[in-house]
Structures are given as C-alpha cells and as structure tokens.
Structure 1
Amino acid sequence: MFVRLPLLLAISLLTGTAFAADAPLLHPMFQDHGVLQRDRPIPVWGNAKPGEVVTVTLGGATMTAKAGTDGAWRADLPAQAAGGPVILTAKTATAQQVAADLLVGDVYLCSGQSNMEMQVARSLDSWTETNRAKHPNIRYLSVDRATNTSPQRDFTHPVRWRAVTPETVGDMSAVCYFFGREMRQIVDVPVGLINSSWGGSTIESWMDTADLAKTGLYAQDLAILSAYDKDRHAGIRKYFDVWEAWWKTKGQGEPWRTAPAAGDGWRAVPSLTSFVTWGVPELNPYVGIVWYRSTFTLTEAQAKQGGTLLLGSADDYDVSWINDVPAGSLYGPGDPRRYPLPARTLKPGVNQVTIAVINGYGDGGLYGSADEQAILLADGTRVPIDGGWQYKVTPGEIGTAPHAPWGTVDGLSTIRNAMVAPMGPYAVRAALWYQGESNTAKAPEYQSLLAGLMSGWRRQFGADLPFLVVQLPEYGYPQDKPIESGWVRLRESQRMAVAADPRAAMAVTNGLGDWYDVHPANKQQVAKRLTRAARHLLLGEKITASGPVPVDAQRHGDVVRIRFTDIDGQLKALNHHRPIGFELCGAGWDSCRFVDASLSGDTVTLPIGDGPAIRVRYCWAESGMCNLYDDARLPTGQFEIPVR
C-alpha cells in the first residue's frame, strides 16, 4: 500500500485501504504476497521526489538511499534466510509504502514463447492439476504482453503477486508452475515464479540491442530501429525503402503505386476474414503475400487535418501504404493496426489504401469491419474505407520478406524492453528458457543468439545467473531417410550453446513431443526434466543433468566407436535389441545414411561399410525414433560430432 503521511497513514492502518500515487515509492515488483530471493543481497528500488532520502526496512534490516534527479532510488538490503512472512517498508518524510506478506525463498524467471506461455488449463490432466493446486508458499507473478522500442523502467500493465490456488492456477504457465512445485518438494523453501513469455516470439525480441549488435547480423535493422525510436516516420521510411527494393527484385510491379483498373488481375474480397475460408483453391492453404486495396474519399478540409489509418488486424503481418506513402508495418497476428500518417499523406478526393499481407502459417489475411477500418481524422471524425476491398495473390515462390524491426513478436529487443527490463535487478535464483520454434529459419545463428541472450540477462540480473534451457521436442511426421531441417538444426544450436556455458543446463525433451501438435500437453514431464537439470546445476547434486552425452567418436579400422558420459547406471537400448537412430555422414548432409549400431558398456559401435564417415549423427530428425536411454530413463539427446 502507498500513502502520504501523516493523515493517510493513519487511515491506511485503520482500514487497510491501498492508496495509489503517480510515482509509488516501491517499484511494482515489491508488493503484497511477493517472494524475495534468499541468501543473497536484496536490491530494492522505486521512485521518490528528487533528492529525497528513502528509508527501507525489511525485517530487522534498515538501509537508506537518496533519490536522484530523476526520482529513482535503490537500496541493497543484506541477504536473508528463507522464511517469512515479512514486511517491506519504504518511507520518506512525506510518504510511506508497505509490501506485506512477503516470503523469502527461491525466485525463478520463466520466459520464452508459446510452450512456456501455455497454461495449466491446457496441460495434461488439467482438471486434477487445478483442483490439487493448493500451495500458499508458491507465489506467481505474470507480466502481460507489451513492447517498446527502448528499455522501460515500469511495466506497461499492472502486475501482482498471487498465491497458487485452484482459482488462480489455471491461467499460470504450466511449465513454470510444475517446475516450481517440483522444486518446492526438493527444497523446503517458499518459491516465487515470474512468468514473462509470449507465444510466437523470436529470441531477438527478448535480447538487448547491444547483444544483437555483437552478432553482426542486424546492422541494417538496428539502424532502422534507432531511426524509428527517434522519429517514427523517418524510421518507417527507411524500412519501406528496404522492403520496396526487395519487392522490386521479384519483378511483379509496384502495386502500391497502381491505381485500380479493369482487367488488372484484382478480384473482389469475399469477406474480411481468413482467406482460407473464401473457397478459393489457390488460397487454401497459402503461404506468401496477398495484396489488398481499397479507397476512401475526403473533402479538402478533411485532407488538410491529417489523421490515423485504422486497419483492424492482419495475419501474420502487413506492409501498408496510402497514396504511395508508407503508413506502417507490424508483425502481430490479432493486433489492431493504428498508423499515424505523415503530414500531407491525405489528399482531397479519392485516396487509395494498399496493403501487402504476408502469411507464414495457417490462417491469413486482413480482418475487421467497417468500424475498424477507417481514417481517424485529427478532429475525431471517422471516415470509413468504403471503396470496396480487392485482392491479388502473388504468384510463385518469393522468399522471406524483410520484417520491420519494431514488430511485436519478431522485433529487435521490443519485448525485452517492456517485459524484462522493468524487472530491474530483481534477485532471482535462475532463468528458465523455452523458446526456439519461431527461430527455425535462423537455426545456425541460434547458438550465438542464445549465448547473447544469456549474456544480456546476466548483466541485468547478475553475472552468475544460471539458465535452464528446454530443448525443443519432437514435432513433424517421421521420415524414412536422413534429413536436414531448421527444427533439427535449431535443437543442435541449443545443445551447443548450453554445452559451451558452465552456468547453463539443458532439459532434453525427446519422447515428450507430439508429431502433430507444436504444443504437447505433457508439461509435467518437461518440468521434471528441468528439475533434474536444476538439481545438477543449482544444488550441485551428483546426478546427471539431462541424460547420456557423447564424449567423442573415433574410427577404429572399419568401425566408429562413440563413447558416452553422464550415464545414470547403464546405457540401454529400449524396445529393441540394439540402438537405432544413428547416421554416418560425409561433408554434405545428403551424404548421411542410417547405420546399424551395437552397444557395449558406455560405447556404441557403428560399422562403416562403403560410405563416408567423417561425422556421426544421432536422432537427427524432427520426430526421431531414438531409443538410447540410461537406467534413469533419460534419453540421449540429438547430436552431431566429428569422427576422429
């Protein structure tokens, strides 16, 4: 609660009323029912009048801090042992704020895309899980979706800590909650869970721009983003220059400059719904660009006002013009488009709206109604886009269009700025990361991207922040021959990034996926494997982190022998008398071939035969039939290593 002294303090103590203020003393991370990290200094911060002295008290510890010229202050309280409840108080000469019923224990930050975001209500046996969720010492805070082009001190939407109950657990992240429950059973301390995740998001959207710059992959996009952050229209113009130049290489004209004409291949839009539902064979299914256009009419007085283009939503993303002038672009299925227009964009008479809608998966198109699709003039008048929508399908394969770097789920640092940066230096025990599905098109780069993400988050939360990474499980129909794919290559990038980081561990999820569903429901077992990784990495238990790991592969005459470590008990070939899923390869991926294998102790032996053998791969498939486990029933993860 936040109050002004002295009168409001007396009222709050009598009634328990919470008082709001423009600049609360305590940052929203510190509020009733929260969890603070045990056994390490506790940073506490907030806002006060510039120059004010803030006295912070937690239990028997008291520290003071002085607000800077911007009103920001920070105090680092001494470490406390697990326990509680305790009260945190921040006080100045004129105000006081109290956070009550705080627990001190272990805090975990859970992040990623839809498989981390996926709720308990959608998990396996959700009815039982929901009704048994009575854990007053497990607290949960969820960060609502938001983006920004620069790092933010405060959250866009209010956040609050909640205890886990049957009434609250259904909307919680299943992996995050099940992990917290498992850890609470192992270490009897309170658990705090922070969920900041967003379905469909790329890893780039969660990274600091400094770490993106280090990869050398995003110089042009970062320059565009910097321009956009300073001057929205200038940034849009820079992006459209890139997009239009890319499109012109396709040799299909400039639809944004083309006035409607009879017989030019444009057809009437049946309805502003997914084009998959239109009954047009070439659009069911369709991945690529569908062009839309329509018109509206303005008087001279209206055109002089300027205004905002309202478009409803587009799936997956749009690139939009008015009268040949760039209006805006956004990647964010379901997000309404509101594009403030540059001066002198509108003109008296007929104006044309042209939209390239790019679809990458499933449903796609422009959605909305007459109320949603309009020009909102500066005086508040809404002029409907009522010229009748037309569409035109882009023929042939055109490749990947350039994305605007300020997008929602695919922007550069945009989610991190609004959903991670506001957490400040809040003390956490470890970060859980479950993401990668949206980065399979950049699978080889993912190793450096994941390393960059971990580096950036450690600058914020502490240099020793441990990471527990979930490797992607099976997804896709099994194949009858060796393959190469982005899904498989991304799993390998995950493995290599974690193997190179002594403060990271991986949960291998072989056996937990679904051939037909990118969101498998068995999140309980994912959490159990994460918990085992945590026991190894965080608690120092003498157990393997994730299952058998290859040490090396050596050629001995006409065979290759692969030696394994991190074996709990013995290696086992399940459901068959020998291991399956091994390949020997030459230089190219198309040189790979399946080979028989035999198992003895910690070694798998592969006969070379007549083919090349400079690399060995195991379980190198989107949904591999792989059976090499150990006595703990932990799978050997996918790998590719050279043969020596």
Structure 2
Amino acid sequence: MERIRPCLFTFLLWLIGCSVLPAAIRLPEVLTDHMVLQRQQSVPIWGWAEPGERVSVSFRGQLLETTADEAGHWLVRLAPMPASAEQAVMTVNGENTIRLTDILVGEVWLCTGQSNMQWRLLESDGGQEAITAADYPEVRLFNVSREVAFKRKTGKLAVWERCSPATVPEFSGVGYFFGLELYRRLGIPIGLINSSYGGSQAEAWTPHEYLDASDELRPCIEREAIWEAERPRVRADFERAKAEWESAAATARERGERVPREPRVPDALRDYRIAGSIYYNMIEPLIPFAIRGTVWYQGESNEERAEQYELLLTTMIRSWRERWGQGDFPFGIVQLPNFRAEAEQPQDLAWSHLRDRQRQVARKVEGTGLIVTIDIGEADDIHPTNKLDVGLRLSRWALREVYGYELLAGGPVFERAVYRKDRVILYFTEVGNGLATTDGGPLQEFAIAGADQQWVWAEATIRGRRKVIVRAEAVARPQAVRYAFNNNPRRPNLTNETGLPASPFRTDEWPGPTHGKR
C-alpha cells in the first residue's frame, strides 16, 4: 500500500491541474490533413474542449461558432459545398488553434467487411502494376488500423494520405479499384475509408442495443457470456496445443517434412468475434464523418447461420444509418462468389443460402444494391485475387444508382415466377436489349422441384426479352425453381447486354440447412 501512495499523490496533482488549466481543443482522428469532405451535403466537424469553451471553425469562407457542452463535446455543420480539387485550410480555434491543410471536397465512401475487403492491393491480381501507376493526388485514403483499434498499439487509428505508390499497397484492393473508377468517371476528388477485419462476423459490426432488441439476434450477445466463462479453459487448451504444434513443426522442418497446420485460434479468444466489438472500435470513431455511402464485402464467417443473415445484415445497415444521422445512405453489398468443388447434382448448402440472404437484403432494403460475383471466385480459395472486377462492378452500381448514369448496374434481376401446369415462367428486370447467355449456348444451372422438394436439373429457354421458361420431364407439377444455387455452379450463363451474371436465386422459401441456428 505504501508503494501506491506516491502514485496516488501524483495522480491527484494531475487532476487538480486538469481542473485549473483549460483543456486543449481536440479533434477525432478521422479529421486530419489531406482529408476529403463530402460534397453537396452538410458536413459535421466535431471534437472536444473545456466545458463551456467557445470554439470556431473556418473553412472555404464559412465561419461557424459553438460552445462545448457540459461533457466537453462540440459540433458544427458546414453548409453543403460543391466538389473542389483546390487545396484548402481548415482552422479550429479555442484556447488553442488547430490548422488542417490540403483539404479537398468530393465524394467519400466507406469500404468495409471482412478479409475479401481487407485484402491488400499488393496481393491482388494486377496489384503491382496498379501500385506503380497510383499517382492520383486527388484520391485520398484513410486506412483504419486493426492493431491500434484492438491491440491498443500506440499510434493513430489512421491518417488521411494522398494516393501514391507509397501509400496504396496496404489499402483494400476492392476499395481502391472501386474508388479509382469513380475518380475516372466523375472527375472529382475521392475519399476512401477502409475499415475492414478478416474473419469477422456481421454481429461484431452491429451495436449491442440493436442485437438485444431482437429475439432472433440476442444470442449473438449471449455467446459472449458463455465465452467469458469458458475463456480460461479455452486459453489453456489453446496454449498447450500451440506449444505442441511448435515442437512438431520444428521437428518437421529438421526432417524436411511437411509442417503440420497451426492450431486455429478459438473464437472465444478473438476480440473481433465479440458482438459489437468492431462497431465500437472501428466504426463508431468515424461517426458522424459525412460519407456518400458504404460498400460491404462480408458474409463468409456467417455461413453457419446463413438463414439468420438477412435479419442480421438488415439490422446492421439500419443501425449505421441511424447512428450516422444522414438518412438512408447507399449501401452496396458484394454477394459471395462461387467457391468449393463443383457438383454434378443440385445442392442445398449454407454458402448458397447466405448468398440468397444477401440478395433478399438488396431486394427489400431501400438504397442497397447487390454486386454479383458468381463467375469470378476460385474453387479452392475463399480469397479470390481478382479484386479489379469486384471494384469495377461496385463502381458500376454506384454510377447507376447513386450518380444517375444511364447504364445497367449489372446482370438481369429475377422478378417473379408464374406456375403453369408442368412449367414455370420466370420474369426478369434489368434486361436491357434482352436476356442472353454469356457463351451463346443454352441456359444452364436451372433446377426444379415438386412438392417433394427433390431437385433435378431443368431445361430452360429464353422467351422474348425478359422471360425464361423452365421445365423438367421428371417434375409434372413444379413448385419451385432455383438458378445457380450450388456453392460453385459449373456454368451460370444467364446475362443481359452487359455480359455480367444474373444473381443466383430461388423462388421457394423452404427452410435451408442452417434453419433455426442463432
């Protein structure tokens, strides 16, 4: 106890000093030199100061003043501004002065999700060439650090940087290709925020109160209590397994043998698996920084609860929109790609159901869009390295749905089914000049089932601009149709004039293999 007293005395002196000296104005880490501010909408600028302290913000001819509240928080809102590549200075005045330089006004997008969004440009197909050419001073990057957010390493959460060969290699490949195409098409400054975490589940990106308000989603929170009780045992077991692996690996290397696989870190020991954890550490610090919208590539880690995912993702989107307080901002969803081995017969597996839940969210939630990647995955790798096409498809969606370009956002979209005796008539939207196949051959990957829910391959034919007729001799009274519903469909060839694929879909609502899992 005696050893603690000097520290306590020093701490009390520090508290007294804090009560006497005025607190310096501070800004959140997302407000730095080189940032891009969102054009054409009100832009919050906020921070902390001594309670009651007067604060002023000046930027591009605007001068705003406010007073810090009882907790020391303050916020002003810049009036909407047009895009500008002219470098500008922001000055924040109070008891001290903060001067931010080289600020542009343009379009700001949040790029987020798990490992396929985290995947670095350096590791992507064509990445080295893209890095060499990455001299775009009007594109700015803000790469949120997982190490600072979760491992409490010293340093900033992130800083805004100009896009250059030196700054872009560690940035998201999908995010970079998406933003670069927007820059080329729009011709105005682009700000990209990458906040992604490999292996994460959607509940980790969602605030607790939104999960707790749903009986279906509350188990996402309750799992943490179970993990907390089990964590000492799990940690001991893992450390023992890790030590055994290290010994076996060393022996294998000495003998020139294959090194065994390293033990997987249990979920109970992964902070980023905890419900709400990534939201509080990597999203909340960004709010209410003005953005145009979000592009989201996640879902792989929720496969085991695929049928819960529609509600979970819908809830997450709603929570972000409500917390940001700028309306239903656009939300682009990258659908899971083809993955794992091809199968000769129709399947009914969780990966495909997760894809379908993503489709349902994009169909039902206002301001969302689905980016289909069923043709650019890799059978033996959950991390396909073709990030260019994903980014380009995201930008195509944004150009159409957000910026009003007259183009098709992607492939044809299933609309409805009409059942006629031994056949099913499927109707599609977004067909352009008409439905087609990518290879010029007959339609593939359509399956049909009767009341017995037994799936068989079907014959499918395009009729007119927007109809497909589906039938199978083995099914006299069809009850449902599915398209490209296997994990890795062999030839999903339904398209329109864009050559881009139609999303896998189903007309039924029959329970899938993860039904009831929460």
Q: Same fold (TM over 0.5)?
A: yes
Verify the 8 A CA contact 1:82 1:104 in the aligned structure 2. yes
| Cα distance in 1, alignment partners of residues 59 and 241 from structure 2 | 68
Return 416-425 or 536-545, whichever deviates more.
Answer: 536-545
Deviation at 1:542, TM superposition (A): 3.4
The equivalent residue for 2:512 is: none
Deviation at 1:127, TM superposition (A): 2.1
Unaligned runs of 5+ in 1: 1-20, 226-234, 248-254, 257-265, 287-312, 319-328, 332-406
Which structure 2 residues correspond to residues 129-148 of structure 1 after superposition, within 5 A? 129-145=130-146
Match of 2:487 among 601, 622, 636: 622
Comparing both structures, which one devotes a greater share of its residues to helix?
A: 2
Which structure 2 residues correspond to residues 96-111 of structure 1 after superposition, within 5 A? 96-111=97-112
Match of 2:88 among 82, 86, 89: 86
| Cα distance in 2, alignment partners of residues 316 and 285 from structure 1 | 15
The equivalent residue for 1:167 is: 166
Q: For 1:438-493, what per-residue CA distance to the aligned partner results, in whole angstroms no more than 9, with x for missing partners?
A: 11001001101110111011012222211011111111111001111111110000
Which structure 2 residues correspond to residues 148-547 of structure 1 after superposition, within 5 A? 157-219=156-218, 222=221, 239-240=228-229, 270-272=244-246, 315-317=264-266, 329-331=268-270, 407-408=271-272, 410-461=273-324, 462-547=326-411
Larger Rg: 1
| Cα distance in 2, alignment partners of residues 221 and 566 from structure 1 | 37
Normalising by structure 2, we get a TM-score of: 0.85
Q: For 1:210-234, what per-residue CA distance to the aligned partner results, in whole angstroms no more than 9, with x for missing partners?
A: 2212332343563575xxxxxxxxx
Deviation at 1:613, TM superposition (A): 1.5
Verify the 8 A CA contact 2:28 2:285 in the aligned structure 1. no
Normalising by structure 1, we get a TM-score of: 0.69
| Cα distance in 2, alignment partners of residues 176 and 494 from structure 1 | 19
Deviation at 1:268, TM superposition (A): 12
Deviation at 1:272, TM superposition (A): 3.0
| Cα distance in 1, alignment partners of residues 115 and 91 from structure 2 | 37
Q: For 1:262-319, what per-residue CA distance to the aligned partner results, in whole angstroms no more than 9, with x for missing partners?
A: xxxx99965536889879xxx9989xxxxxxxxxxxxxxxxxxxxxxxxxx963217x
The equivalent residue for 2:507 is: 641
Identity among equivalent positions (%) equals: 30
| Cα distance in 1, alignment partners of residues 160 and 486 from structure 2 | 41
Aligned letter for 2:484? Answer: C
Match of 1:553 among 417, 425, 433: 417
Aligned letter for 1:272? Answer: E
| Cα distance in 1, alignment partners of residues 191 and 451 from structure 2 | 48
| Cα distance in 2, alignment partners of residues 449 and 101 from structure 1 | 39
| Cα distance in 2, alignment partners of residues 525 and 427 from structure 1 | 27
Q: Secondary structure of 1:63's partner? A: strand
| Cα distance in 2, alignment partners of residues 76 and 45 from structure 1 | 8
| Cα distance in 2, alignment partners of residues 22 and 490 from structure 1 | 50
Deviation at 1:242, TM superposition (A): 11
The equivalent residue for 2:51 is: 50
Verify the 8 A CA contact 1:147 1:416 in the aligned structure 2. no
Match of 1:603 among 464, 467, 474: 467
CA RMSD of aligned residues (A): 3.0
The equivalent residue for 1:229 is: none
Verify the 8 A CA contact 1:430 1:467 in the aligned structure 2. yes
Deviation at 1:623, TM superposition (A): 1.1
Aligned letter for 2:87? Answer: P
The equivalent residue for 1:115 is: 116
Unaligned runs of 5+ in 2: 1-21, 510-518
Deviation at 1:494, TM superposition (A): 0.1
| Cα distance in 2, alignment partners of residues 276 and 482 from structure 1 | 44
| Cα distance in 2, alignment partners of residues 65 and 267 from structure 1 | 57
Q: For 1:380-428, what per-residue CA distance to the aligned partner results, in whole angstroms no more than 9, with x for missing partners?
A: xxxxxxxxxxxxxxxxxxxxxxxxxxx32x2100011010001121000
Task: Count the aligned residue pairs.
Answer: 474
Q: Secondary structure of 2:507's partner? A: strand
Deviation at 1:576, TM superposition (A): 5.1
Verify the 8 A CA contact 1:113 1:200 in the aligned structure 2. yes
| Cα distance in 1, alignment partners of residues 219 and 330 from structure 2 | 32
The equivalent residue for 2:14 is: none
Distance 1:506 1:223, change over 3 A: closer
* 1:632 maps to 2:495: no
Q: For 1:499-523, what per-residue CA distance to the aligned partner results, in whole angstroms no more than 9, with x for missing partners?
A: 0012111111121111111111111
Q: Secondary structure of 1:515's partner? A: coil
| Cα distance in 1, alignment partners of residues 217 and 232 from structure 2 | 15
Distance 1:85 1:269, change over 3 A: closer
Deviation at 1:70, TM superposition (A): 2.1
Q: Name segments (4+ residues, structure 1) moved above 4 Å.
A: 21-24, 146-149, 241-244, 266-271, 273-279, 283-286
Aligned letter for 1:634? Answer: L
Q: Secondary structure of 1:448's partner? A: helix
Distance 1:528 1:27, change over 3 A: same
Verify the 8 A CA contact 1:54 1:67 in the aligned structure 2. yes
Q: Secondary structure of 1:487's partner? A: helix
Aligned letter for 1:192? Answer: G
| Cα distance in 2, alignment partners of residues 267 and 117 from structure 1 | 28
Distance 1:221 1:471, change over 3 A: closer
Comparing both structures, which one devotes a greater share of its residues to strand?
A: 1
Verify the 8 A CA contact 1:146 1:419 in the aligned structure 2. no
Distance 1:274 1:445, change over 3 A: farther
Distance 1:51 1:530, change over 3 A: same
